[in-house]
Chain A
């Protein structure tokens, strides 16, 4: 007899639990306001990444095309996988001494793991993270970037 009642109790509790589950999906079915999908290419205009978003490593330049990089290559030393190559040159300084300046700050985006050690350890805060995240390209050589802009020079106060 106990078995008999258990049989029906099982059916009842089982069906009840199924209905509870269906109420969850049913609730979402009838409340389209809860849709969380972001329609990506359409919302490009309004899509704003967070300030600290690590999209790529950039070297900020001011309006006079000055950057802050001295070419000390600490970022190159700290990079765990060789994404950064600093090629520096020596030119004659104003007082006749040789001065080290940056020639090319090469950044391999394709190898970067965004560990943020370069940005963190840069003594002059010359590097920063950019917000650009659409990095898909057809040619991977495009991913190798030269961060200092052509014709740019170091900010006077640092040098």
Chain B
């Protein structure tokens, strides 16, 4: 038997040590494992270890038909399930050159924005908890419940809806939908003030987040940090503005930009995005036109051979879908460019020489969803 020779490699400098944050750690939001090199409490470097929740979704897509892929995308980034579904639907519709009814576009835009609010609510809740304010968690979840109820009434599911189908929607919106959404916006405009009072304005929170995890615009671009995290560094990267889909070219909304690039800026971007999403919904909710809830589709969807790419703005950033079709009813290759993956990659860069408590705050401010990283 061949003897394995271990050459001693110094893994750490003097007075440094490793610590494993995760895969079971309260503030990694799932099964992310960070191998952190610490000196005392100062983070010297960190290595993310991914793959604990890798389910091979890209490979599974290769044996599924396009309508079946929808339900897999729910499970990539489960907090913006509608938006992921939207990406697949747009890709198929683009490839087949189908124009979906106007009603579908309205409903999809509203649902996407509800998903964004919902995702940011949960992020706010868990971010507050990362910083030690446990009450935030319950306030966030309390308000998120209202959106889940609206979804349950229309789509039948609270979390993984699979509501969009290529060409339209699974079924029409519930008669109560408009009334409920309007009631929710009225409710949440009141409650979001609580959010500001309890966390945004709090001096401890401000001190914990200001000038922590500084990420310049150049950093954001070179690491590909998109979404609210990138916009906190002043990088205008909103897909809804730059490559509008659905109704985003018709509605009037601001792209939230902060230039500070610290944890506080990333926090404020998301808080403002919740308000902006409510504005978008308010513009659309009363004007949903009558009509079909789905376009005419063939029973078996076959994409023409070729390569397709579709971007959408998920709650976490730029979600890209790259698909190679060989003309069959299943894709030859499906690749997801998920925002959390590139957002995670910058974590090492921006959390060096900060404290372990800052690492938790920065990780929270990047709003990582681990299945989105591992797929």
**When A and B assemble into the complex, do they touch directly, with CB atoms less than 8 Å apart?**
yes
A25–B198 touching, CB < 8 Å: yes
- 10 tightest A-B contacts by CB? A115-B71, A14-B203, A80-B68, A52-B156, A54-B156, A50-B153, A24-B198, A17-B203, A115-B162, A17-B201
User: Of A13, A50, A120, which contacts B170 at CB under 8 A?
Assistant: A120
A-B contacts besides A24-B194, A25-B198, A52-B171, 17 pairs, CB < 8 Å: A18-B202, A20-B201, A20-B202, A23-B197, A24-B198, A50-B153, A50-B156, A52-B174, A78-B68, A80-B64, A80-B68, A80-B72, A114-B162, A115-B70, A115-B71, A116-B170, A120-B165
The number of chain B residues touching the other chain, given as a range, is 20 to 34
A113–B71 touching, CB < 8 Å: yes
Q: How far is the CB of B158 from chain A (nearest CB, A)?
A: 9
User: Of B67, B142, B155, B299, which contacts A52 at CB under 8 A?
Assistant: B155
B211 within 8 Å of A (CB atoms) = no
Q: How far is the CB of B70 from chain A (nearest CB, A)?
A: 7
Within 8 A of A (CB), among B260-310: 299
Q: Give CA–CA (A36, B67) in the complex, Å.
A: 37
Within 8 A of B (CB), among A1-24: 13-15, 17-18, 20-21, 23-24
Scan B184-215; emit 1 where CB is below 8 A from any A CB, else 0.
Answer: 00000000001001110111101000000000
B145 within 8 Å of A (CB atoms) = yes
Closest to B196 in A: A20
A36–B156 touching, CB < 8 Å: no
B156–A80 touching, CB < 8 Å: no
B157 within 8 Å of A (CB atoms) = yes
Q: How far is the CB of A68 from chain B (nearest CB, A)?
A: 18
Q: How far is the CB of B72 from chain A (nearest CB, A)?
A: 7
Q: When A50-B152, A114-B162 are in contact, do A36 and B64 touch as well, CB less than 8 Å?
A: no
Q: Give CA–CA (A155, B151) in the complex, Å.
A: 34
Q: Give CA–CA (A106, B333) in the complex, Å.
A: 32
B198–A13 touching, CB < 8 Å: no
User: Of A18, A24, A117, which contacts B203 at CB under 8 A?
Assistant: A18
Q: When A23-B197, A50-B153, A116-B156 are in contact, do A80 and B71 touch as well, CB less than 8 Å?
A: yes
Among A24, A53, A113, A115, residue most surrounded by chain B Cβ atoms (within 10 Å): A115
B154 within 8 Å of A (CB atoms) = yes
Give the number of residues in A that approach B within 8 Å (Cβ atoms): 26
Scan A125-141; emit 1 where CB is below 8 A from any B CB, else 0.
Answer: 00001000000000000
User: Of B157, B162, B197, which contacts A20 at CB under 8 A?
Assistant: B197
Cβ–Cβ < 8 Å partners of A54 in chain B: 156-157
Cβ–Cβ < 8 Å partners of B204 in chain A: 18
Within 8 A of A (CB), among B200-247: 201-204, 206
Q: Give CA–CA (A129, B156) in the complex, Å.
A: 9
Q: How far is the CB of A75 from chain B (nearest CB, A)?
A: 12
Within 8 A of A (CB), among B140-162: 142, 145, 152-157, 160, 162
Closest to B176 in A: A50
B198–A21 touching, CB < 8 Å: yes
Interchain Cβ contacts under 8 Å between A and B, 9 examples: A24-B197, A25-B135, A50-B156, A52-B171, A53-B157, A54-B156, A78-B67, A115-B68, A116-B162
B156–A117 touching, CB < 8 Å: no
Q: Give CA–CA (A115, B71) in the complex, Å.
A: 6
Q: Give CA–CA (A114, B194) in the complex, Å.
A: 36
Q: Give CA–CA (A37, B160) in the complex, Å.
A: 23
Cβ–Cβ < 8 Å partners of A15 in chain B: 203
Q: Give CA–CA (A15, B174) in the complex, Å.
A: 48
Q: Give CA–CA (A127, B239) in the complex, Å.
A: 39
Q: How far is the CB of B359 from chain A (nearest CB, A)?
A: 24
Q: How far is the CB of A79 from chain B (nearest CB, A)?
A: 8
B162–A17 touching, CB < 8 Å: no
Cβ–Cβ < 8 Å partners of B198 in chain A: 21, 24-25
Q: Give CA–CA (A114, B202) in the complex, Å.
A: 42
Closest to B207 in A: A14
Closest to A117 in B: B67
Cβ–Cβ < 8 Å partners of A53 in chain B: 152, 156-157
Within 8 A of B (CB), among A38-60: 49-50, 52-54
Q: Give CA–CA (A15, B204) in the complex, Å.
A: 10
Cβ–Cβ < 8 Å partners of B160 in chain A: 113-114
B68–A117 touching, CB < 8 Å: yes
Q: Give CA–CA (A50, B72) in the complex, Å.
A: 24
Q: Give CA–CA (A15, B202) in the complex, Å.
A: 9
Cβ–Cβ < 8 Å partners of B154 in chain A: 52
Cβ–Cβ < 8 Å partners of B152 in chain A: 49-50, 52-53
Closest to A27 in B: B194
Closest to B154 in A: A52
Q: Give CA–CA (A52, B68) in the complex, Å.
A: 20
Q: How far is the CB of B330 from chain A (nearest CB, A)?
A: 11
Q: Give CA–CA (A115, B67) in the complex, Å.
A: 9
Cβ–Cβ < 8 Å partners of B157 in chain A: 53-54, 114
